Structure 1
Amino acid sequence: MPPKKLDLTGQRFGRLTVISELPKEGSSPRWHCVCDCGKTRNTTTILLRRGDCNSCGCLHDEYLAERHSKTDTDITGKRFGKLVALNKVKVEGKKSRMWLCQCDCGEQKTAAASELKKGHVRSCGCLISEHVNSFFEAGTNVPALLANTLSSRNKSGTKGVHFNSRNNKWMAYIMFQRKNYNLGSFENKRDAIQARKEAEARLHGEFLEWYYSRKENKLIPEQPRRKRKHSDEDLIQSLRDVAKQFPDKYLTVWDYASVCRSPTYQTITTRFGSWGEACKKAGVQTVPRSDDADKHRKDYIRDYQRRKKQQWIAEGKCKNCGGDWIPPESKPGKRKASYCLNCQKRTADRLKRRQEKRLELAQSIMLIYAMLQFYK
């Protein structure tokens, strides 16, 4: 007699009420459910009967709201950069605590409280425009002019020079203060590059002389640099504090990351150029990065194992199993054993079992070979 088909229609699981069965996808039947809040959700029998699915998701939202209410702080009226928090708002699709803020420029922006506190959001977007406009002087982007970088599509190797396949000539041009100057077409690439260089010296040179003269007279305000969170002295002191916790070994990146989360080792390596250079300035020993680094590592590992073994023996512990040290029976002329008697017995038993398995495998192979020869 076939088993009776399971029917969950009308049954209630948490806030969900099963309405109808859906076409089966996979091994578990699927059901169409409606939540007490009015929303619907499709789920499987396993999730319903196991208690993993109790609502359409509103139960989790209520849990997060209750959790946030315990740690929520009122930031009404507080200033974050150019933004002043007005009141808390609810945004569709956002589960974090959102605040409506007023910017100094007159615009309003909605941002999460965590983003405001961390300083990730400081304006409605006008700060970016101000930052970009600060690079322009007399309609010219000065950093881009000084960088003189090439586009990925450039094939000539010189900015403002390209090959025209229609007339098989090299074209030279230059753009300055939103004006495009055509410098002509040339049979030779070298002539086109020369024309471009002369135009740069004539247009860019006069502008840069004017720009630097204004900068020397302090007519152009200096760009404010972003304040660093950690100074060089803080990073060096952090390295020294972590190194004190590892007195008997070289300080590695992994050792530092396991102890200190801020400042991170990425910050240290970026600031000083490399991990070894940072440790050198802090007076901390690290793994040598030279041609004979492998030799240094082997010597260090050998010395570390020797000191650790002496410490285990002094504490009455076994190097292998960590148990009490039981001196093994040493034969004359043999080196002193590093493992206790129990470890040697377990090793011998393991080797014996391995040999027995190999013998059984060899016997099975011989039996199969004999049967093949017999039936041949």
Structure 2
Amino acid sequence: MARKLIDLTDERYGRLIVLKEAERKGYTRRWLCKCDCGEERIISQAQLRSGKTTSCGCYNRERSSQANIVDLVGERFGRLVVLEDTHERFQNKVVWLCQCDCGSDPIKVPSTYLTTGDTTSCGCLRRENGSKLQDYNEKNLRTDGVFTPLLKSKLRSDNSTGVKGVAINKKNGKYRAYLRIKGKQYYLKEHFTLEQAEAARRVGEEKLHRPYLEVPDEDN
């Protein structure tokens, strides 16, 4: 008389629920199981019944993650102070509950966002900086579209002459003076010496830049 085969359907083994028997591998009986985390895996009958396999692998990953958790409670990151571990995870990283200095409701932040400096406030810092930038732009943007800080910008790092607004024409070796305003670039002729080109640049600045730089601030 043939021995009745064991049916493991609907049986629970740790985090695993057996859904149905899967295709055998040789003489090994295998079962399709669903883990509490939602993953489905095919696991041998022997591994299930012996207790060697009790999850899809998520349990071991969680234990490993827990072992490597650095406790951030009480640590400060910018305006944020870490209050507690929420026991939530984002991409296998701890999500911490943090309090911002501005007094707003605590927010949840993944550890990587804190330690890399990506998140340093509840969002108030970004709003404040945005407001400051808007005020700065409004203060320095003239009605005809000229942004005065650009007129006062420093020498570019890729400038090869050491003089702002002067470049070398590689074809003939002459020094070319230029300046830009209202999105248009003006060339102030080419000169044999750097001193001549620098002088031409200064004349151009007095003519095209100075009128905007002498406009008094509205607050004064």
Q: Relative contact order: is structure 1 or structure 2 higher (C-alpha 8 Å, sep ≥ 6)?
A: 2
Which structure has greater strand proportion? 2
TM-score bracket, shorter-length normalisation: 0.3 to 0.5
Which structure has greater helix proportion? 1
Higher radius of gyration, 1 or 2? 1
- TM-score normalised by structure 2 residue count: 0.47
